[in-house]
Amino acid sequence: MKITAAVIRDPEAPYSIEQLELREPGPGEVLVRIVGVGMCHTDVLPRIPGIGMALPIVCGHEGAGVVEGVGPGVTAVAPGDHVVMSFDSCGACTNCRTGHPAYCETFMLRNLSGFRADLTTPLQTDGGEMVAGSWFGQSSFASHSLATERNVVKVADDLPLEQLGPLGCGLQTGAGSVLVAMKARPGTSIAVFGTGAVGIAAVMAARLAGCTTIIGVDLNDTRLELARELGATHTLNGADPEVGSQILALTGDGVQYAFDTTGVPGVILTALGALRQTGTCGLVGVQTAPLEIAPNFLAAGKNVMGILEGDAVPQVFIPELIALWRQGRFPFDRLIGTFAFEDIDRAEQSSLSGDVIKPVLLAP
């Protein structure tokens, strides 16, 4: 079928809005008409020099929409169902079978190559040129997406579908890291480094977990203000070289949890230095350079935890976040700014600059 999609052909060029050919759903696959799709910093990875992503590619991995068709064997959803789209996983490896699909043995291939696990793609041009079209198993910067049964989550028809896409990755990652991966306990302290969408989701989750000291750290004062409104008890500007000392002063012995969304080694070291003994630092940012930790730095029981997708099971965790939103306890909609699909370049720049915490593209 013919679809409209935003294609990256040149890492330094604007998106190319094109008509592409999307194949019909095969076994275990789901055809989704996109209503809204969030923009995440991960979507710009193909633009980073040296990453080596296949081009041309259609990105987008926070889609939400309506099921229009299913392939053989699909039973979890049916045409007409409303769904949020999340990451893909095999369902058969040890980690998938024990409730950790974000650590699927084939996660990188399924989610960050742009191709299916069998190295095929469902997208091509009229002239037969292959276009990588399985970014996070969905490539949802498009009018329609071909996903898998495992990476769609059925949601109620009365929900604002155009706003739900970010639950599939960024918000799930932030909230899941605090609630699922690090299992934050009531009465404890946490410092969140980077208060974009992932970081503010972590702040809101920390409040839900009952953390009593929630420190947001960022360079953007507007984002810090929103973090305070949504649960941070303290905020610090990350440009201050004394941030680590300020956190120690606020807590006495350091935080029990630190959470880095930046991927910047210097920031990560500050986060580690702000931990109390037995504290845990969760890392979700795409690391920008090697991280060098001094000898014996972790000997006092400090822990470093790499986290993917909050270690959440989307079919369990996303409905929980929606239930919390209905109760007014996880107001993720306050992070969202909407853009017309053809304004995708402006949305990307707004995301990178921090002017809009979570841009969402509306269906073309």
pLDDT in tens, 187-212: 999 999 999 999 999 999 999 999 99
If pLDDT is split at 50, 70 and 90, which confidence band does 123 have? very high
- The DSSP bridge partners found for residue 147 are 30
First-to-last alpha carbon distance for the chain, in angstroms, is: 15
Please, what is the average pLDDT of the chain? 96
Mean pLDDT value across residues 69-74:
97
What is each CA distance from 222 to 226, 229, 297, 356, in whole angstroms?
6, 11, 34, 10
Quote the radius of gyration of the chain (alpha carbons, Å).
20
What confidence score (pLDDT) does residue 333 get? Answer: 97
The DSSP 8-state label assigned to residue 168 in this structure reads G
Exposed / middle / buried, residue 95 (Cβ in 10 Å: 0-12, 13-18, 19+)? middle
Query: Which tokens is 328 given?
Result: 């007014």
| Range from 100-109, 284-293, 344-353 that averages highest in pLDDT | 100-109
Question: In whole angstroms, what is the distance from residue 169 CA to residue 273 CA?
Answer: 28
Question: In whole angstroms, what is the distance from residue 218 CA to residue 240 CA?
Answer: 10
If pLDDT is split at 50, 70 and 90, which confidence band does 68 have? very high
What confidence score (pLDDT) does residue 364 get? Answer: 80
Range 201-219 burial, b when 16+ CB lie within 10 A, else e: bbbbbbbbbebebbbbbbe
Whether the per-residue pLDDT at 9 is higher than 90: the answer is yes
Whether the per-residue pLDDT at 287 is higher than 90: the answer is no
Mean pLDDT value across residues 246-271:
96
Domains of the chain: 2-168+331-362 (3.90.180.10), 174-307 (3.40.50.720)
Percent of the chain with pLDDT over 70: 100
What confidence score (pLDDT) does residue 53 get? Answer: 84
Whether the per-residue pLDDT at 288 is higher than 80: the answer is no
Exposed / middle / buried, residue 288 (Cβ in 10 Å: 0-12, 13-18, 19+)? middle
- The DSSP bridge partners found for residue 21 are 2, 124
Mean pLDDT value across residues 150-172:
97
pTM of the model: 0.96
- How many CA atoms lie within 13 Å of 236's alpha carbon, on the beta-carbon side? 23
What confidence score (pLDDT) does residue 88 get? Answer: 97
Kindly report whether the peptide bond that precedes residue 166 is cis, defined as omega within 30 degrees of 0: no
